[in-house]
Each structure stands twice: as C-alpha cells, then as structure tokens.
Structure 1
Amino acid sequence: MTQPRLFLHVQDNELATQLLQSAAVRRFVVVRSSDTAPWSEQLLQQPCDLAFIQADQHSETDYQRLTASKLLAEIDFILISDGRPDPVLDKLMRGGAGYHFRRPLDLGCILDTLEDFYQQLSDSRQPVKANTSALDQFGLLVGSSRAMLKLYRTLRKVAVTEANVLIVGESGAGKELVANTLHLASYRAEQPFVAINCGALSPELVDSELFGHTKGAFTGAQREHQGVFAQAEGGTLFLDEVTEMPLEQQVKLLRVLESGEYRPVGSDKVLHANVRIVAATNRDPQQAIAEGVLREDLYFRLAQFPVQVPPLRDRGDDICGLAQHFLAYRNAQEQQQKQLAADTVALIANHSWPGNVRELKHAIERAYILADNHIQPEHLLLEQSADSDEDECLAEVPCGLPLEELEKAAILNTLEQNAGNKTDTARQLGISVKTLYNKLEKYQQAES
C-alpha cells in the first residue's frame, strides 16, 4: 500500500524538528515546503493527502487558489496559528479545512491527530470536512479541554458512517453545533442540513412539517408544502428536542426510520427518505422513557450511536478560554481592544454557568456593551442563584391573587427572561413544551 503524503509548511524550526522526529510524522512521506513560492502554490504542484500549515498570516490568494482547484474540499488540513483573529483562516475552516490549533500548542494532541489521519487514510476513507471557530477547534465546535478533544475524535469516527446519532446534553451546551459538525464532517456535507425543533411544533401540524402536504389536504392548505424529510433529501435531518414530539408522531417517525417510506398529508404517493437522522434532547433518555414521553423502540432507532455533550462546568480551562475567544472576535468586529479584568476572569472561572456556552456568550456580549476598555465583574450581569433570591421572590408574590393569574404571571415572566425560548421555559417551570404551548394559546384566545 502506498504511504500517505504529508505536505509540511512550518515556519517555527523547533516545531518542525519535533514533528519530523515524531513517530506519527515518520509514517508519512513528508513533502517540505520551500521559500521559492507561496505554500498554497507549492501544494497545488505536488498534491498530498494531508497538509500541515503553520503561518503567521494567510493571504486571500491562498484561499482563492485552494477553492479554485477544489483542493480544499479534497484533502485535510491541520492549521496552526498564534491566536489572532484571521478572516482568511476562518474562510479556510468554513471551506472544510479540518483542524485548527492555537498556541500554546499541545504537541501530544497534535501527534494524536496525525495518527488518526494516518489511520483514516490507510483505511481509504474520504477526507473529513469541518468548519470554523477559535481555540483548538473541529467543525463549529470550540475548546481545548480533554472532554472536547475526546468529543472531536468521537465525532470524526461516527461522522463518516450512516449511523443515526442521538445527542444528549444540557440546554446551551451546543447540541445543534455538534449536529452541524457531524453533517460537515460526513459524506453528505454538500447536501442540505435541515434542523427542526420538535417541541415548537403545533400538534395539529406535526405531520405536515415532517412529511409535507398536498394542496387542499386540510383547511388552510392553499399550496403544496415540502416536509423536512423532503427538504433534507440527501443530507442530514436534525430533530432537536425529540423527546417533546407527541407520541402519536413518534410512532410515525419510527415507521419512517424502519421502512424508509413516508406519505405527505393528503397524498396517496409513497416517498422514500434519503436522509441521515441526528436527534437531540436535554433530557435523560432513560428517564424520558420511564416518564412515558419517549418511546423505547424509537430511542433505540435514534441512538444507534449516542453522543454526550459535556456541560461547560466540566470543561475546565475552556470556560475562560471561550470568554477570551468571544471577546477577541467581538474586538475584531468592532475594531476595539477591550480586555477582561483579572477579577472578571476569576468570576468567570468560578461561576457555575447553568446555561452553559450560550449563557457565557450572552454574558460576554452584554458586558462588552456596558464596559469601556476593561470588563469588570459588575459588567457581566450574572443571574443570582435561586437560593439567594428565594426570600425576595416570596415577598413579591401578592396575597389573594387567583392561582390561575399567578400561573400566567410565572409563565410569561419566565418566557421573557428566556428571551422567548420555550424549551428552556418549560424545563424551568417543570412542564412539557406541549403544555406550555397550550397555556400560551389559551392566554392569546382570552385576549382576542
């Protein structure tokens, strides 16, 4: 079997020596770059299976050469940078380059990645595609913690299969980013990625949203509608919060997964689904089965390969790293040089972040607006714990108010606090998303 070829463009002589002396690199036929021409031009003249690129800055010409030749989509890249936001580097990642490691480097992790690529190339697999972000990254995911690096390697392996994947993780942990990364790293990457929140569907329209409907199929169906199975044809269908789907529709979804066939509402024509299913939930699946909100047979169909997304509190230094990442990119957008004060970094490191990465990102964005040059702890506007607010909340409850009005106030206030996110609101209130929709519809009818 022919050895895989590795194109090596490294400006740091010490790093180049460490790589060339490693067992991982010696597995490849190494093609070194020279100073005679830009690295992208040299790579086009002697194509390889994998490119390892370390450059202080990338030019737009590099990107244009690679995309015009389709080389960016055909081989894998490992890119090394000093951590400064670089628009061309982001374009390379969005174009499917692969991995991007930032200094200070974890050489052991880089060598493990090279070993993975060697094994994949030796198995004659197609290259893995990815997308964008900062820190060490894979696809749309960001982070350098052991938990995230383990997740990256798991996703690379399952992405190139056709297995259905069930992503389990807390709200705000990045489940949709995981699903999108799976799609980008799969053989279906050039086809559509369609996401649908099962908890946000009206019970009366679930069938139509999933399978589509014909014109005149029901009152109000004034034209033909394609369901998400048709919209995602050839690509990936992401079913977010799948445990919130009504049981009746879970049966129909199971039927499609078993037979590959479905029928649009009002049609007698049977269609064949060609999609990969990736589902997600913020519930414990076994608990959801025990509570009767998730069919066990559907769970086993969806969870051919389960993936657990780590909560932010379990990601160690990623917490402060992500805060710096969000700030760096906001600085680049606004042409500013705002910084996190030392006390702010300590507060970020010690906060529990129940809303995970989403909460952290929103906190940094709010603080960025409020702060001048230095972001102080008071700029973060972190929510107080439920325990510290308990007495204050009890004092604000008016006496003699009907329970129905109290319930309405609790629902509307929680919905406003969550910026309209119905899934998070239902979880905090301890009710199902379907119940929440029914309550909101009732309030709306009472006002009309």
Structure 2
Amino acid sequence: MTQPRLFLHVTDNALATQLLQSAVVRRFVVVKSSDSTSWAEQLLAQPCDLAFIQADQHSKADYQRLTASRLLAEIDFIVVSDGSPDPALDQLTRCGAGYHFRQPFDMASIFDTLQDFYQQLSQHQQQLKANVSALDQFGLLVGSSKAMLKLYRTVRKVAVTEANVLIFGESGAGKELVANTLHLASHRAEQPFVAINCGALSPELVDSELFGHTKGAFTGALREHKGVFAQAQGGTLFLDEVTEMPLEQQVKLLRVLESGEYRPVGDDKVVQADVRIVAATNRDPQQAITDGVLREDLYFRLAQFPVPVPPLRDRGNDIVGLAQHFLAYRNSKEQQQKQLANDTLAIICQHNWPGNVRELKHAIERAYILADNLIQPEHLLLEASRDDNSDSCLSEVPCGVPLEQLEKAAILNTLAQNAGNKTDTAQQLGISVKTLYNKLEKYQQSEP
C-alpha cells in the first residue's frame, strides 16, 4: 500500500526534531519545505495528503494563496502557532476546517491527531486500491513481473511475422490469452480468430471439423459445413491442446501446413488456406514427442517460434497483484468496496497455485461471493496440495468396490470440482482430454 504523504513546514528545530523522531510521522512519506521559495508554492507544486504548518509573521501571503486555491479542498492540514491573533490564519482554518494548536503545545494531542489522519488516509487509499488494478497490461495479458514483461516483448516481436507459434505452459497459465493477444498485435487483427480444442475432436468428424464438408458428403451431412480453416480464412487459427489430437489426425494437419492446401470432405476442389497457425499444449513438447503423442515433424512445423508461458508461482508479486486485479474488477462491476485481509494476502502469497491464474481467479470470485466487506482466509476455499492429502485420500477409498465404479466416481467428482472444465479434469486424472470425452460419452449411453 502507498504511504500517505506529509508536507512539513516547521521553523522551530526542536519541534521539527520531535516530530521527525516520532513513530507516527515515520509512517508518512515526509516532504520537508525548503528556504528556496514560499512553503505555499512548494505545497502547490507537490500536493500531499496532509500538511503540518508552523505559523509565523511572514506567512500571511501563503495563507491567502492557499485559501484561494483548489488544493484546500483536497488536503488536510494542521497548523501550530504561538497564539498571536492572525485573521489570515483564522480564515484559512475556517475554509479548510483544519486543526490549529496554540502554545504551549500538547504533543500527545498533536500525535493523536496525526495518528487519526494516518489511519483515515490509509483506509481511504486501501478503499481506492480495492477498485483499481496496479498491474501492467499488454493485449489481454496482465502482469508486471519480469517474466511477464519478457513475454510481452516476445509476443510483440513474433506477432508481426507470419511464423507459426507453439505456446506451451501449465493448464490455467493463460495460453489462450497469449494466442488472442498475439492475434490482436498481428497484421491479421481485423480478421477472424478461431479456436478449437483438438482433444475434443471426434476421430470420425475431425476432417469435417478441420476442413468442412459438402452437403451429403456422409450420412447426417444435411447441409454444407465450413471447417475451422475456412472460418479463420485471413485470420488466426488457434489449435488448443494440439498434443491431444490422435497421431493419425496429426498427419492430416501436417499435410495442410506443408502444402497450404486442403480439401473439404465430399468436395473435389482444393482450397488454398490463408491462416496463421497458433497452437498450444500443457505438455512439455519434447516430452510429448518422446511419449509418442506428438509427431516430431508436426512439432517443427508448429514451433517455428516456441513461446513458453510462465506458471503463476514464478511470477513473484503478480500473484498478489492479480488477486487485487480480479477484486478491483469485481468491485467495479458490483459497485462494492470489498477488500482482502492481510492474512488472506499472506495465504495467497504462500499457496502454490497448481491451477495457475485460472485457479486464483476462481478463488477470488468464490471468496467475493462468501465475504461481506473483508475477505478472510476462510473465504478462499483453497484445495490442499496433492502431496499434503494423498495419504488421507487413499485411506478414504472404499474396499470391494468394482474399479469401473471407482473410476467413474473419480471422473465425475473431479469434473464437478473443476466446474465442468474438461482440460483441467483430464490433467488432474492423468488422462487425455479425448479419453475423458470417451468415458463421459460411455457413462451417458449407460444411463437409463
């Protein structure tokens, strides 16, 4: 939180020393006046939140100038004097409803007043912070850490080229936002951005989804359908979770990337593709090749320019910054002033965030709903790390239940916990998105 600023104009050295050595004044950012110009000019040139002024016989013009300025309505002030009658000072005090302490000074009262102002100003700044985001932004990406600033520079440079891009990073880190931002910063920004989840493609319909089909091309093809290559013509095609596409389908994608041509199902005409390919995966690309889930030749076609996305745990202060960012936008939308308690911020800093930015965003949104004005730790509803609860989870598995039923329960419960997000569910269960879709389809067919 930014500290309140205190303007200090004190001509008595003993009083100045007493003030500067006090604990309450040290909490402020202190701006001391100098002898170069009048203190009023200095205050007008660098406005502060609170002004502490020692009155003297030469200050009449300064009082009048401050009284006539708009600054008087924007700052608070405390004046101390020897008690000599001064109409100009009285006018200043009346206009600004400021404190005026006369000799002999009750320093305890002065320090109490300074403390009251500090608490008031700090609370006001905290309320302002609840409705603003302090993070830098590039396109749809938000963050101020070195890792994110490096990512901004990388995306900006590659965006203006026609190179195919492979984005890789953990689930929830923001790969699709990187793809969208890359499109917005490119020369194709006015053309379509089309995204497709490769893990959700049915093997029987993948040709149709990618390349389209003519009416009557196969049973059920009642009308012509444009594939994603046609939908994204002139723009950007985003192939999300490309490593989840079956290998036999990766061959068909490779042919298009090599020749720049494709043929809709049932059509005898070849279509020239004019799309910029951006792909993404939550796997390590080299490991995916080793595991046999990504063709090496397709990798080299897709990864003309690889772009890694940093996990949230490697983004330093962005963790708290993003929490405040999500809170500020929710406060603005709901016209509220909810705040994060210090204990809550500490937990947010300590959490590992395996679900990355998506997990943090969902945690803040859930906490926002549960909290009244102050979001406390119990409102976050964070999941314990897998290492912490693995033993307890094993102890809760029932004995004698068929494995098929246990598998179904694990899939459906994990899916519900992830609010229906199939990519996160598949990753947590250690299966492919396609396998998850097949399992869910099987469960649906078995229902009476």
- Provide the TM-score with structure 1 as the length reference: 0.70
Q: Amino acid of the residue matched to residue 179 of structure 1?
A: A
**Is 2:297 aligned against 1:278?**
no
Alpha-carbon deviation of 1:377?
A: 0.5
Q: Of the two structures, which has the highest relative contact order with CA contacts closer than 8 Å and spacing of 6 or more? A: 2
Match of 1:198 in 2: 198
Per-residue deviation, 1:83 = 7.5
2:183: which partner in 1?
A: 183
Q: Provide the residue aligned with 2:18 in structure 1.
A: none
Residues 13 and 291 (structure 1 numbering): CA distance in 2 closer, same or farther, change over 3 Å? farther
CA deviations 1:355-412 (Å, max 9, x no partner) are: 0000000000000000011000110000012233234323322221111111111111
* CA distance in 1 between partners of 2:209 and 2:362 (Å): 31
Amino acid at match of 2:313: R
Partner of 2:117: none
- The TM-score normalised by the length of structure 2 is 0.70
Deviation sequence 1:157-215 (CA, Å, 0-9, x none): 10000000000010000000000000000000000000000011112111111000111
How much has 1:326 moved relative to structure 2?
Answer: 0.5
Aligned to 2:413: 413
Deviates more, 1:312-321 or 1:247-256: 247-256
Structure-1 residue corresponding to 2:238: 238
Shift in Å, 1:85: 6.1
1:84, CA displacement in angstroms? 8.6
Separation in 1, partners of 2:331, 2:323: 12
| Structure 1 contact 236–276 (Cα < 8 Å) conserved | yes
Correspondence for 1:345: 345
Gaps of 5+ in 1: 1-11, 15-81, 87-101, 104-134
Matches of 1:221 and 1:246, distance apart in 2: 23
Cα distance in 2, alignment partners of residues 265 and 83 from structure 1? 55
- The two structures, once aligned, show a CA RMSD in angstroms of 1.8
Look up the SS of the partner of 2:297 in the other structure: helix
The CA deviation string for residues 71-126 of structure 1, in whole angstroms up to 9 with x for no partner, is xxxxxxxxxxx98968xxxxxxxxxxxxxxx76xxxxxxxxxxxxxxxxxxxxxxx
1:215 counterpart residue number = 215
Deviation at residue 142 of structure 1 after TM alignment: 0.1
**How far apart in 2 are the matches of 1:186 and 1:83?**
33
Distance (Å, rounded) in 2 between the aligned partners of 1:424 and 1:333:
28
Cα offset, 1:246, TM superposition: 1.2
1:425 aligns with 2:425: yes
- Of residues 431-440 and 248-257 in structure 1, the stretch that sits farther from structure 2 once superposed is 431-440
Query: 1:200, 1:422 within 8 Å by CA — same for their partners in 2?
Result: no
Aligned to 1:298: 298
- Name 1:53's counterpart in structure 2: none
Whole-angstrom CA distance in 2 between matches of 1:422 and 1:366: 20
Q: Say whether residues 1:442 and 2:442 are aligned partners.
A: yes
1:265 aligns with 2:265: yes
Q: Which has the larger radius of gyration?
A: 2
Matches within 5 A, 1:35-434: 135-434=135-434
Whether the aligned pair in 1 keeps the contact of 2:130 and 2:338 (CA below 8 Å) is: no
State how many pairs are aligned: 324
Q: For structure 1, which segment, 428-437 or 178-187, has the greater mean C-alpha deviation from structure 2 after superposition?
A: 428-437
CA distance in 1, matches of 2:192, 2:338: 38
Distance 1:238 1:216 in 2: 28
Q: For 1:177 and 1:374, locate their aligned partners in 2 and report how far apart those are by CA, in whole Å.
A: 30
Cα deviations by residue, 1:206-234 (Å, 9 ceiling, x for unpaired): 11110001111111111100000000010
Distance (whole Å) between structure 1 residues aligned to residue 377 and residue 131 of structure 2: 25
Question: Residues 268-323 of structure 1, C-alpha deviation per residue, up to 9 Å, x if partnerless?
Answer: 11101000000000001111111111000000000000000000000000000000
2-structure distance, mates of 1:254, 1:13: 64
Q: Partners in 1 of 2:376 and 2:424 — Cα distance?
A: 28
Residue 329 of structure 1, CA deviation: 0.8
Cα distance in 1 between the residues matched to 2:383 and 2:255: 44
Retained in 1: the 8 A contact 2:263–2:269? yes
3-state SS of paired residue (2:306): strand
Q: Secondary structure at the match of 1:187?
A: coil
Q: 2:386, 2:162 → 1: CA distance? A: 43
**Superposed displacement of residue 434, structure 1:** 2.0
CA deviations over 1:13-63 (Å, ceiling 9, x no partner): 99xxxxxxxxxxxxxxxxxxxxxxxxxxxxxxxxxxxxxxxxxxxxxxxxx
Specify the code of the residue in structure 1 equivalent to 2:428: Q
Structure 1 residue 155, shift from structure 2 partner: 0.7
Relative to structure 1, the CA distance from residue 84 to residue 415 in structure 2 (aligned partners, 3 Å threshold; closer, same or farther) is closer
What's the CA shift for 1:136? 0.5
Q: CA deviation at 1:259?
A: 0.6
- Tell me the distance in 1 between the aligned counterparts of 2:406 and 2:308: 37
Task: Tell me, yes or no, if the aligned pair for 2:130 and 2:339 is still in contact at 8 Å.
Answer: no
Residue identity matched to 2:287: Q
**Residue 416 of structure 1, CA deviation:** 1.5
Distance in 1, matches of 2:388 and 2:159, equals: 44
Q: Distance in 2 between matches of 1:204 and 1:385?
A: 39
Structure 1 distance, partners of 2:167, 2:313, is 18
Q: Is the 8 A contact 2:422 2:433 kept in 1?
A: yes
Structure 2 unaligned regions, length at least 5:
1-43, 47-127
What SS does structure 2 have at the residue aligned with 1:196?
strand
Contact 2:323 2:364 in 1 (8 A): yes
